[in-house]
Amino acid sequence: MRQTIRGCVAIAMLVFVEGCVAPQPSQDLLAPTEAQMKIRSVQTRTFEVKDRQIAMRAVIAALQDLGFIIERANEALGLVSAARFAEPNYYDVVGVTVTVRPQADGHMMIRANAIYNNKPIEDPKVYQNFFATLERSLFVAKD
């Protein structure tokens, strides 16, 4: 009987001690996964626009057409963040951050990150829809 108790105590101690060891982060914690690369390609598109300001204004116009409220913009960094309420349910929010970056070959790289209630949206269709609206807005801006 005493031996059994001793055994139990030993096991309990072991469990305790093990609990003290912090879990080690794995080596590939910050390494890009394949899914991340895929989502990045979905979120990014390049357009034939030379002027960053024109591109930014087109992004803002596209977001406004889609019913988004522009929350923040930074011309120097090419950032636009916007949000909209997921009407008709009044508690959900869709947020989006768009970055506009000029590339060496004179094209403009536009990247959009969308979130739905703080969870990232990974559906490629969402980004296709956004870029379709943006394309139209850029076309209007060019005229």
Partner 1 sequence: MMRRWLTAVGCMIVGCQLMACVAHTQPQEFFQLTAESSSNRAMQTRMFETKDEAELLSASATVLQDIGFQVEESVREVGFLRAAKERSAREYGQDINRFLVLLFSSGASIVGVPPIVIPVDLHQKIAASVVIRPLNSESTRQEVRVAFYRVVWKGAGAAGRQQIPPGEQRMEMLRDPVMYQAFFSKLSKAVFLEPFAL
Binding site for partner 1 (CB under 8 A): 53, 56-57, 60-61, 64-67, 69-76, 80, 84-94, 114, 116, 121, 123, 125-127, 129-130, 133
Let me know: does 92 contact 39? Beta carbons within 8 Å.
no
CB of 125 to partner 1, least distance (A): 5
Q: Name which of 89 and 103 has its Cβ closer to partner 1.
A: 89
CB of 49 to partner 1, least distance (A): 14
Distance CA 27, CA 9 (A): 35
Question: Helix, strand, or coil here: 27?
Answer: helix
CB of 8 to partner 1, least distance (A): 39
Distance CA 137, CA 98 (A): 15
| Residue carrying the six token digits 């559906």 | 123
Q: Name which of 13 and 75 has its Cβ closer to partner 1.
A: 75
